[in-house]
Chain A
Amino acid sequence: MAASNMKAIKRRIKSVESTMQITKAMELVSSSKLRHAKERAEQAVPYFELLYQTMSEIASEANGFHSVYTELRESGAALLIVMAGDRGLAGGFNLNVFRQADARIKELEAQGREVILMTVGKKAAEHYAKSSNRILAQFENIGEDVTTYTTLNMAEKILHLFDEGHLSIVEVFFTNMVSPLVQEPRQMTVVPVPNLERASGVQSLTNYEPSPEAVFDSLIPKYLSGILYCAIVDTYASEQAARRMAMENATDNAQEMIDDLSLRYNRARQAAITQELTEIVSGANAQG
């Protein structure tokens, strides 16, 4: 009986070990992808900061500045761009962003607004496959090597709808990588352009050609594309960080299980030896 018990334990150790090899490999893959994604996320920052700064300057310097992209609209649907991963096995990463987006959809619908969706990532497409909302576009497997051409196309698609008066608000749901250990789902309003600092009464010293409004409006597609690019890169980095963490935990758990099983195996082995000895000794005694 002891021998069969030992065999079963041995088999379980083997199976846990092979699982651990997989989780360990996934952990390593994710950490290398994470490093790459983090670099890309950081490289996008100077461009975007300057773009935003220029827009703020135009909005504050130009007298009587006004643009359709900064004004609130009364009518029109809300476009929600939801960004998630292409794969699972990343802890609560995908779920967290869906929870936030779903709550917002309910809120908007309760206000009687139409909600249109745009999804980035296979998991987001799956999540909203059965929803009753209209889906404008779906993008899959773009996180790893997204380019500005992709995001500029997305931005143009969105602005085309906006310019025709179908949209009143555009929001992005993505995951921000605060640190390799902390990823937070975020919601951001992109159109109408929020929080442009406007210092009133400052005379414009910059010569805008052809006009401040024209320069500002020509920045809008770049701004939107820039936000989408940053959000996609950030979400991708978060996905890798979340997966790395989930896999690290899984590896640790597997190691713990192996330790526990090894202990049980050794006990069973010891018990078997003890029993055998007892049998030999009692056999010898009986021979006496």
Chain B
Amino acid sequence: MNSYQLRVITPEKIFFEGMVQRISVRTTEGDVGILAKHEKYAASLPSGLLRVLTEDGTERLAALSGGILKVSPEQTVILANAIEWAEDIDVDHAKRSEEDARKRCEQSKSQHDLERAEAKLQRALNRLRVSSMVK
């Protein structure tokens, strides 16, 4: 199978850089898979699961907390707000932020507060879900 260059970048660091055969990720419009020689494409990504099939055929999972995907002939880039490999996720921490987010949802006073609390809850749930997929 053909492979292509993937870079996953967060503001804090370069998370992943290397050749991959395929990635699949959820966009705001639905799930997409990117193979080599994909057309130029860009989409925004909500929190969700990122599957990476690396050049040597191993599949890795990561929890993505929002970002954008950009495919160009030279390389595919994911600009992530935050991202973690499934095996690195701190489950206790994620559970705590889930509880915290639920509390905030209940206590939120305005629509704006509620939206933010929900986004936080979504991120925590996503991390828990992705982390449970490797165990």
* Interface residues, chain A, with chain B CB atoms under 8 Å away: 40, 43-44, 46-48, 50-51, 54, 58, 147-149, 152, 156, 160, 205-210, 214-215, 218-219, 222, 225-226, 229
A43-B12, A43-B13, A54-B70 given as contacts; is B43 within 8 A of A209 (CB)? yes
Given A54-B68, A207-B39: A215 and B44 interface contact (C-beta under 8 Å) = yes
Q: Are A207 and B40 in contact (CB under 8 A)?
A: yes
Sample (5) of A-B pairs whose CB atoms are under 8 Å apart: A43-B14, A46-B9, A208-B43, A214-B28, A219-B44
B42 with A156: CB separation less than 8 A: no
Q: Which residues of B contact A51 (CB under 8 A)?
A: 79
> Are A215 and B42 neighbours in the complex by a CB distance under 8 Å?
yes
Quick one: given A205-B40, A209-B27, A209-B41, are A148 and B116 in contact (CB under 8 Å)? no
Question: Chain A: interface secondary structure?
Answer: helix
| Inter-chain residue pair count (beta carbon < 8 A) | 74
Interchain CA distance A226-B68 in the complex, whole Å: 14
- Whether B9 pairs with A47 at a CB distance below 8 angstroms is yes
* Interface membership of B81, Cβ < 8 A: yes
B34 CB to nearest chain A CB (Å): 12
Residues of A within 8 A of B13 (CB): 43
| Given A47-B79, A54-B70, A160-B112, also A206-B10 (CB < 8 A) | no
What band does the interface of chain B fall in when counting residues whose beta carbon is under 8 Å from A?
20 to 34
B92 within 8 A of A: no
Cβ-based interface call for B29 (8 A): yes
Q: Which 3 A-B pairs have the closest CB atoms?
A: A218-B44, A206-B40, A209-B43
Instruction: Decide if A222 touches B40 in the complex (CB within 8 Å).
Output: no
Please give, as numbers and ranges, the residues of chain A lying within 8 Å of B70 by CB-CB distance.
50, 54
CA distance A206 to B14 in the complex (A): 24
Which residues of chain A come closer than 8 Å to B42, judged between CB atoms? Answer: 54, 58, 206-209, 215
Contact with A along B22-37 (1 / 0, CB 8 A): 0000011100000000
Task: Among B28, B81, B112, point to the contact of A148 (Cβ < 8 A).
Answer: B81
**Known contacts A54-B70, A222-B66; can you find 11 more A-B pairs with CB under 8 A?**
A40-B12, A46-B9, A47-B10, A50-B79, A54-B42, A148-B10, A149-B82, A206-B42, A208-B43, A210-B28, A214-B28
The 8 Å CB contact of B79, one of A58, A207, A222, is A222
Residues of A within 8 A of B11 (CB): 44, 47-48, 148, 225-226, 229
B91 CB-CB contact with A under 8 Å: no
Which residues of A lie under 8 Å from residue B112 when comparing CB positions?
160
Q: Using a CB-CB cutoff of 8 Å, which residues 70-84 of chain B contact chain A?
A: 70, 72, 77, 79, 81-82
Q: Establish whether residues B29 and A209, one from each chain, have CB atoms under 8 Å apart when the complex forms.
A: yes
B14 nearest in chain A by CB position: A46
Q: Give per-residue flags for B1-26: 1 if the beta carbon is below 8 A from chain A beta carbons, else 0.
A: 00000000111111000000000000
Residues of A within 8 A of B79 (CB): 47, 50-51, 54, 222
Minimum distance in angstroms from A214 CB to a CB of chain B = 7
Closest to B40 in A: A206
- Interface mask (B76-100 → A, CB under 8 Å = 1, otherwise 0): 0101011000000000000000000
For the complex, give the distance between the alpha carbons of A48 and B44 in Å.
16
Query: How far in angstroms is the closest Cβ of chain B from A210?
Result: 6
Q: Which of A156, A207, A219 contacts B116 (CB 8 A)?
A: A156
CB of B118, distance to nearest CB on chain A (Å): 13
Instruction: With both chains docked as a complex, state the minimum distance between the C-beta of A58 and any C-beta of chain B, in angstroms.
Output: 8
A152 CB to closest chain B CB (Å) equals 7
Point out the residues of chain B lying under 8 angstroms from A218, CB to CB. Answer: 28, 44, 68
